[in-house]
Amino acid sequence: MELLVATAVGALTAGGIYLTLRKRAFTVIIGLALLSYAVNVFLFASGGLAVDMPPILSKYGEQAYTDPLPQALVLTAIVISFGMTAVLVMVSLGAYFETQSDRVDMDEAPEDVEENTP
């Protein structure tokens, strides 16, 4: 099970880095989303992969339990990544409507700037 989760984290990270290095805004956003999914799976797996165990200690004896902290961290990370994805989509939509292109390169000089500015 751990090998499968580690492979999934590696594949999500590799795909996220590949897409983040592209020159289009949409693929950069998808790449950042994949990276956040990889971090979420890693955080969830850091608490240990336990099946059918309660997230709290029992007062009736020493019973195996699942650590609730990674679950809380993953829930918080999901909310934050959803909000940041929404912000990135809105910023890239604004840039697309202004320039009619979703390229992210910085090679071209802006046309609005005068050449004689100090």
Output the CA–CA distances (angstroms, integers) from residue 70 to 12, 27, 81, 99, 105, in the order listed. Answer: 19, 29, 16, 42, 37
pLDDT the model gives residue 60: 67
Q: Is residue 111 part of a domain?
A: no
Q: Is residue 108 part of a domain?
A: no
Q: Is residue 116 part of a domain?
A: no
pLDDT, tens digit (0-9, with 9 covering 90-100), for 61-80: 657 777 778 888 889 999 99
Domain that holds residue 41: 2-53+66-99
Q: Structurally, how many domains does the chain consist of?
A: 1
Pick the more confident residue, 112 or 40.
40
- Amino acid occupying residue 109: A
Q: Is residue 28 part of a domain?
A: yes
Q: Is residue 74 part of a domain?
A: yes
Q: Is residue 104 part of a domain?
A: no
Global pTM? 0.74
Q: Is residue 106 part of a domain?
A: no
